[in-house]
Amino acid sequence: MFRRRLLVALGLAAAFTGLAADKRIVLIAGRPSHPPGMHEFRAGCLLFQQALSAVPGVTVQVFSNGWPTKVEGDRKVDDSAQLENADAVLIYADGGGGHPALQADRLKFMDKLEAKGVGLGFAHYGVEVPKGEPGEAMHRWAGGYYEHLFSVNPMWKPDYTSFPEHPVTRGVKPFATHDEWYFNMRWVPDEKAKARLKPLLVARPSDDVRKGPYVYPQGPYKHIIAESGRQETMMWVFERENGGRSFGFTGGHTHANWGDANQRRILLNALLWIAKADVPANGVADTIADTALRMNLDPKK
């Protein structure tokens, strides 16, 4: 009886000191692509890891060059087991048909993570998948995705002036960065699911932005021009039916923009939120200096 009471007391003590609430966040950084300073997935993820290093009870692990792998004999094979005990997973990588979560049997594996309530985040090109089964999967995982020839990817400077009350927006002040901010996502069609989706970064593109050119294809698209004056969503959070949490962030093309403390803070807050870790009252406060932005860049010609 005494031993049982002691174990209960130790468990309660661990809970109150935060030991029982440790969270593991995994960041999947995609392979190098694009010219220097763009799609710097590895450098960006290592920056996030550094920024969250002082948050109590949180550990952040970065896997570079895409999905975790291990060596068996003379070849590399998937090592999805590295994600099994994660509280949250971010995919910041090239998407489309080459999306890391769509290769081999990973879609089924991601569904298992989703069913377990693991937090799921997708940044920049990582929000794009082909329509059809991959798009339906993204609806389950994040509530929306970038659909080729429906969504658009212009280079522009949205002015984020106000934010809804949410843990992810804590401490975030108005900001604007010139980047490839995607918009006109393909949202989950189910109204009950759509009600669990909350836009966080919202701005109104000018008519010139709507008319293009877009990065690819250059456009313009009639259905984008037809929505002149409408506000668009560039970041959202999604509370899944099973209690899991997700977010989509469409910026992040230009690495230097992580030097903006508010763009950085809303992404860091989101990582804590999807892991169900406490988001500080004033958001994540980091000590990232400008010099850190020039570290860990991919060697590119």
CATH number of 107's domain: 3.40.50.880
What DSSP letter does each residue of 196-223 carry, written as one string? Answer: TEEEEEEE---HHHHH---SSS----HH
Residue-wise pLDDT for 244-279, tens only, equals: 999 999 999 999 999 999 999 999 999 999 999 999
In which domain, by residue range, is 247 found? Answer: 22-294
**Residue 228, domain member (yes or no):** yes
Average pLDDT on 154-172 reads 98
Residue-wise pLDDT for 209-224, tens only, equals: 999 999 999 999 999 9
Question: What beta strand segments (E) does the chain contain?
Answer: 23-29, 58-63, 69-72, 75-78, 88-92, 119-123, 144-145, 155-156, 179-180, 186-187, 197-203, 232-239, 245-249
Residue-wise pLDDT for 68-109, tens only, equals: 998 888 888 889 999 999 999 999 999 999 999 999 999 999
**Residue 4, domain member (yes or no):** no
**Residue 281, domain member (yes or no):** yes
Our count of domains for the chain comes to: 1
Residue-wise pLDDT for 21-61, tens only, equals: 599 999 999 999 999 999 999 999 999 999 999 999 999 99
pLDDT at 7: 41
Q: Could you tell me how many helices (H) and strands (E) the chain has, helices first? A: 8, 13
**Residue 85, domain member (yes or no):** yes
Residue-wise pLDDT for 13-28, tens only, equals: 444 333 445 999 999 9
pLDDT at 21: 59
**Residue 199, domain member (yes or no):** yes
Token duo for residue 169: 């927006």
pLDDT at 6: 41
**Residue 11, domain member (yes or no):** no
pLDDT at 1: 47
Average pLDDT on 133-157 reads 98
**Residue 111, domain member (yes or no):** yes
**Residue 156, domain member (yes or no):** yes
